[in-house]
Amino acid sequence: MEETAKQDLVFLELRRKLQSGTLFISGDIARDGADVKVESRHDSLLNIQTADGSYQVKLTPGVSLVETLLQRSPGSCERGSHFRLRLRVEQESEAPQSVIGRLRVKVTYSFQCQSCGSTVLQDRAFGRVLPLPNGNWNALVDDWCCHPDPFANRKLLPRDGDCLLGDTFILLAQDTSCEQTLTREGNSSQKASAEVKQKRVSKRVMLSCTSCSAVLGEELSAEVLKFYITEILVKPGEDGGCDITRLSLEPKSDSLRQRFLEQTLASRLVELSSAQSIFRFSIQTPDSTAVILLWLLNTDTLVASFPGESFISTGDVHPREHQSCQAVQAVKVLYVLCSDSKLKDVVDVWEKDISVHPLPLPQSTCEELQKLLMSSTSRLPTFLRCMNSYQVAYLRM
């Protein structure tokens, strides 16, 4: 597929922990850094003046500019100029939590399909919300025990009123309320016999939304549902009703979906890295085929950018005069696509390493994520796009 995204004209990356940042200005609007002025008239507001127009970045509260230094870009100056910024960071902002971090006991939730907004489960409250052991626990138990794994073939499954939290999914006990809202692929019978249950061990029963057919998860058994956090919206309380109306009135938008996916994954990566010191992940399909290897580099990043492509269609003579945007929290990742045959060596090493954490997601979501990462990379200034064999991308929270 032809890559259509254009490189960002202005790209700003700030590191809160390092109290510093890098500002990149594309050669399209500033060949030579000398005609660029960066200043901060008010706290948390950054003004970037180029010969072409001005750009304003709203930083988050408590972050302000101390000093700007022009640095030569690697390569020719046609590619652009870059500046090193020194910042003052007075308050750390907290990363938004993923749905897994937000679920609580004794709160009533409604579960909606993220694609179309229809409710798939209503009024669920949990007596227990418990984390499952992390993805590689079976391999680790092998290392701890001198005898055969005592947990082998014993699955941890939710009882009535339980919500078990995986890395990218939640497990719930099944009830009759979802018979109309969820469609089972591969097995339409609800009341499965023992024989059919046996077959399910080898055959995957995918669960999809009856309204829009989006894959939301799996039916692990006649008693247990698995939902991927990238496919559902979990809303507390009765006000879920209002949200459904609002969502169903909105046109189905690809960019809304992308933002949701980006935010969900970014906040989950932050949670996993801070709780378990895991930084390397293997994004996999439900049958454990690795699609993307992801290395979490920074979680203290703020990014802001002014895209190059948004000006093309306006036809305005001075379309760039005043642009402003909000800097947003993001994670910086390195990644490789497992389909890239040139990187087979890297992929092989990662696949043998048990410290690499598996993150299963539906096949279609793995593909969406692949596009999302590639699009993020392609908008970056050329010299920021890769590190060794890895591609660089930012996932905004």
Site of interaction with Zn ion (CB under 5 A): 113, 115-116, 209, 211-212, 214
Beta strands in 310-356 (DSSP E): 322-326, 328-337
Nearest to Zn ion of 213, 276 (CB atom): 213
State the nearest-atom distance from the C-beta of 117 to Zn ion, in Å: 7
- Tallying the residues shown for the chain, one arrives at 397
User: To the nearest whole angstrom, how small is the minimum distance from the Cβ of residue 115 to Zn ion?
Assistant: 5
CA angle at 263 for the pair 136 and 81, rounded to the nearest 5°? 110
How buried is 76 (Cβ within 10 angstroms: 0-12 exposed, 13-18 middle, 19+ buried)? Answer: exposed
Distance from C-alpha of 25 to C-alpha of 320, rounded to nearest angstrom: 13
What is the closest distance, in whole angstroms, from the C-beta atom of residue 118 to Zn ion in the complex? 5
Residue number with CB closer to Zn ion (89 or 244): 244
Q: What are residue 247's phi and psi, to 5 degrees?
A: -65, -40
Cβ distance to Zn ion smaller for residue 5 or 116 = 116
Rounded to whole angstroms, how far apart are CA atoms 18 and 66? Answer: 13
Q: What secondary structure does DSSP assign to 72-110, as a single string?
A: PPSS-GGGEEEEEEEEEE--PPPPPPPHHHH--TT-EEE
Nearer to Zn ion by Cβ, of 136 and 177: the residue is 177
- In the numeric block, which tokens belong to residue 273? 């890295």
CB 119, min distance to Zn ion, A? 10
Nearer to Zn ion (CB atom), residue 210 or residue 273: 210
**What minimum distance in Å lies between the beta carbon of 125 and Zn ion?**
23
Q: How far is the CB of 287 from Zn ion (least distance, A)?
A: 23
Task: Specify the residue, 48 or 244, whose C-beta has the smaller distance to Zn ion.
Answer: 244
Q: How far is CA 176 from CA 4, 181, 228, 245, in A?
A: 46, 10, 20, 24
